[in-house]
Amino acid sequence: MSSLRNAVQRRNHRERAQPAERAKWGLLEKRKDYKLRAADHKLKKRKINALKQKATERNEDEFYFGMLSSTTKGGIKRSQRGEDNSGGGGKSLSVDTVKLMKTQDQGYLQTMLQRTKNEIARLEQEVIMATHGVKLTKGATHGTFGEDGSLELTVPGASENIFDDEDLGSLDGDLEMEDGRSEASGKSDDEDFTPEQRATRDRKRHALDVKRKNLKALRDQEDKLASALDGVEHQRAKMNRTIGGVNKKGVQFKQRERKR
């Protein structure tokens, strides 16, 4: 009998909506909403009662060091130390102090940007040596990547590259042979390697992948540092009124003209 009752389509009971004359008050509160609101109200009430009890039992002769740096006016605690340190008092810094801080920020960003560029140059050289098997002696040769991603190995003071396109092509071919694949035969050379040689080759590949990932992360960091440096320089220029713009109150100001 129960299975037959469950097989019959029943009426879907939907929750009552807010009446049209009370639509301005928003959604109609359901029982689950009331339970949450009541629980929150009771929790706040318990906290207030606990604080009241703590205030009545407080020892008036008790001393703590916060009394030396704070006062109470109209029941509101004000921290004198916070005002001195531009904290809770809402005290603003002077324009000269902000300019000095911006100058220090600019110097720090320039230092970090130059350090990142030096690290990128070092990693690029290591990737070149690991990828093409070219050993670059200090002060003799160096390698750089062109705009199209091509490798350029040059001698300082020389106007021509050490390797031309044909030599680079041969280097790339040698790299593919090291990967264990021959374009002519298509046969894997792993069978000619000993387990120690395979392990050494895998370690070199892993180290090269790590260096490439680090190089990509450093280039992203370089872009972020350059963007932050441009932003600080723009802010300093606005504070010195060497460029026009709009201040935080929405008032436009013109570039400071040179006195004649």
pLDDT single digits (tens) 144-177 = 555 555 555 554 443 333 334 444 344 444 444 4
How many CB atoms within 10 Å of residue 7?
A: 7
**Exposure on the CB side of residue 221, measured as CA atoms within 13 A:** 17
**Contacts (Cβ under 8 Å, ≥6 apart) of 26:** 18
pLDDT, position 156:
47
Task: Indicate the average pLDDT of the chain.
Answer: 75
CB 207 within 8 A of CB 105: no
State pLDDT tens for residues 108-153.
Answer: 999 999 999 999 999 888 888 877 765 555 554 455 555 555 555 5
Residue 157: the pLDDT is 42
Residue 33 confidence (pLDDT): 92
Distances (CA, A) of 178 to 29, 46, 196, 214: 72, 74, 15, 23
DSSP letters of 158-200? -SSBSS-HHHHHHHHHHHHHHTTB-TTT--B-GGGS-HHHHHH
